[in-house]
Amino acid sequence: MRTRSQVIIAGGGPVGVGLAVDLGLRGISCALVERRVGMHNIPKGQNLAQRTLERFYFWGCVDELRAQRMLPPEVPASGVTAYKSLMSEYWHAFAGRETVNEFYFQKNDRMPQYLLENVLRRKMASLPLVEAHFGWAARSVEQDETGVLVALDHEAGDGARAVLEGDYVVGCDGGHSIVREEAGIRRAGADFDQVMMLAVFRSRELSRGLKRFPMQSTYRVLHPDLNGYWQFFGRIDPEEGWFFHSPVPHDTTRDNFDFAALLHKVAGFKFACEFDHVGFWDLRVALAERYRAGRVFIAGDAAHSHPPYGGFGLNNGLEDVANLGWKLAARLNGWGGEDLLNSYDEERRPVFKEIGDEFIAARIKWEGEIINRYDPEREAQAFRQAWAELKTGSSPIVANYEPNYEGSPVVFGPPNGVSRARGDYMFSARAGHHLAPRTLSSGRNVFEELGDGFALLAFGVPDSAVAPVAASARARHIPLKVIRDSYAGGREDYAARLVLVRPDQYVAWAGDAAPADADEVMRTVAGLAS
């Protein structure tokens, strides 16, 4: 066991392993500690957003990931919503994240989380700078101005203990994070005081019984008795693999409840099924009050936990990685400042606050109110209208989800900009927003040219417009790649001739001419301004 690494990562779920891969590829040594030796076989996060696939592209394993998909490519990642049961006359198919595919370099996808984790673990094993310790649990964390100490227990029950030293520690240790507790970071949020069950099962009869619908990935039922909480079937494979989650009474255990009867009620028909797993969790949205305490950071479910409503968990955890990985590397490599590390919290926390409050908690309330407004037996016409409102109301939830960092102190967003989850999809390059893909004259995509540092897109501008930015980057050892091309062929859609792109493919600054003070721009985006 190496005693000192630059970064210690506690927790080897998808977020911890993703961070280890990101840092390992950036030349940062890390030690990853994971309590479990084997993998769990619960499909969990299946709905992979475009940004998650972009991560895998930059990590060099996107084709390997896509090859894991279990559903045929023509099956959309989205699904249907029905009233009371899947046999109801009230149902609609809803549009998923595929509607915004053109704004990303990679399309969204769908597969069980453990298949994604397998790809990540294989990638991590290929990186010499990453040392993984499976079967060890982080017990305590201490820090001072020189570094951190993480004490470990061997989970094999042999009483073995170890201590790791590092410059930073990142807690990716899930909702019950020890690292978060040790750092004294509290959480706040909405507790719905509702127990949920999760079942993984196999049933060909259920697959056959749903032939009335176009082939979909998910089947969601909203019941007026359940306050907007979901009853949810998700396909694992095209023939027989399923998962299901639903509210259940508080005192439910594996032994005192008829899970098959609940599944039949929600499906609206009886079918034979074999259970592989039944588990429980509490329905709550919880957000850490800060993502950093000195040399301690938290990411993924350790920073934000919530029900699996909308595919925000895994995807947002990997977006935390995209945001934090390059900043830690920049600081450790000497060209990034403290402001850059602070900006991880300043950019990511407000985004998740809005996701938790509006895309999850408010949606539960809104959907609960709509389906309780009228009784379809007695007020059919009014109910039909309310049901139509639910259909049109949930689509903008997808379309308006455009996380951005307009309020970040390390990007040149609009005056009074705020970082948030809601935004508009556009091809124009706006500071604080994700860069949209465009094709270069070479036929390659801009994303294929972006490296792992900053990139300056320079379209139809003289060398004198590029030189001050490049000179400042050189002087400050900030990695910068200049990508030149004409301001035509679709690149004019960026509506800016010069676009400074961060290592996480977010725009830091955009304009038509060299900035008045190029060094001020580079100092700010590297977190060196104060």
Ligand X SMILES: Cc1cc2nc3c(=O)[nH]c(=O)nc-3n(C[C@H](O)[C@H](O)[C@H](O)COP(=O)(O)OP(=O)(O)OC[C@H]3O[C@@H](n4cnc5c(N)ncnc54)[C@H](O)[C@@H]3O)c2cc1C
* Strand spans (E) along 342-438: 401-405, 419-422
- C-alpha to C-alpha distance for 529 and 90, rounded to whole angstroms: 57
> Least CB distance from residue 312 to ligand X, whole Å?
6
Q: For residues 46 and 472, which CB has a smaller minimum distance to ligand X in the complex?
A: 46
The residue among 229 and 243 lying less far from ligand X, judged by its C-beta, is 243
Q: Minimal distance in Å, beta carbon 280 to ligand X?
A: 11
Question: Which residue number, 135 or 460, has a Cβ lying nearer to ligand X?
Answer: 135
- 249, two tokens: 């009474």
Ramachandran region, residue 84 (left: φ > 0; alpha: ψ -120 to 50; beta: rest): left
CA distances from 177 to 61, 143, 170, 347 (A): 28, 17, 11, 21
Residue nearer to ligand X on the CB measure, 44 or 420: 44
Helix, strand, or coil (residue 5):
strand
Least distance (Å) between residue 240 CB and ligand X: 18
What DSSP element (H or E) covers 494? none
**Distances in Å between the alpha carbon of 92 and those of 195, 220, 273, 388?**
27, 10, 26, 9
Q: How many of the other CB atoms lie within 10 Å of CB of 356?
A: 23
Q: For residues 313 and 423, which CB has a smaller minimum distance to ligand X in the complex?
A: 313
Q: How far is the CB of 451 from ligand X (least distance, A)?
A: 27
Cβ proximity to ligand X: between 10 and 496 the closer is: 10
Nearer Cβ to ligand X (230/383): 230
- Cα→Cα distances 333→166, 322, 360, 453, Å: 15, 17, 38, 12
Taking a C-beta distance cutoff of 8 angstroms, is the pair 17, 314 a contact? no
Tell me the closest approach of the beta carbon of residue 511 to ligand X, in angstroms: 35
Taking the C-alpha atoms of residue 366 and residue 475, their distance in angstroms, rounded to an integer, is 54
CB 482 within 8 A of CB 470: yes
Residue whose pair of structure tokens reads 């990139």 in the numeric block: 455
Q: Binding residues for ligand X, per CB under 6 A? A: 10-16, 33-36, 44-47, 113, 137-138, 172-174, 178, 198, 243, 245, 300-301, 308, 311-315, 317
- Residue 210 beta carbon to ligand X: minimum distance, rounded to whole angstroms: 19
Angstrom distance (rounded) from CA 330 to CA 342: 13
Q: What minimum distance in Å lies between the beta carbon of 348 and ligand X?
A: 13
Least separation, in Å, of the C-beta of 317 and ligand X? 4
> How many Å apart are CA 309 and CA 300, to the nearest integer?
16
What spatial distance separates the first Cα and last Cα of the chain, rounded to whole Å?
Answer: 38
Residues with Cβ within 8 Å of residue 226, at least 6 apart in sequence: 247, 368
**Are 425 and 434 a contacting pair, CB within 8 Å?**
no
Which residue from 461, 504, 496, 511 is spatially nearest to 482, judged by alpha carbons? 461
Nearest to 193 by CA among 255, 251, 258, 250: 250
Q: Nearest distance from residue 113's CB to ligand X, in Å? A: 5
Nearest distance, CB of residue 49 and ligand X, angstroms: 7
Question: In whole angstroms, how close is the CB of 125 to ligand X at the nearest point?
Answer: 16
Residue whose CB is less far from ligand X, 80 or 473? 80
- 130 versus 172: smaller Cβ distance to ligand X: 172
Cβ closest to ligand X, residue 319 vs residue 339: 319
Nearer to ligand X, 15 or 360 (CB): 15
Tell me the C-alpha distance between 319 and 433, whole Å: 13
Distance, in Å, from the CA atom of 104 to the CA atom of 434, rounded to the nearest integer, reads 8
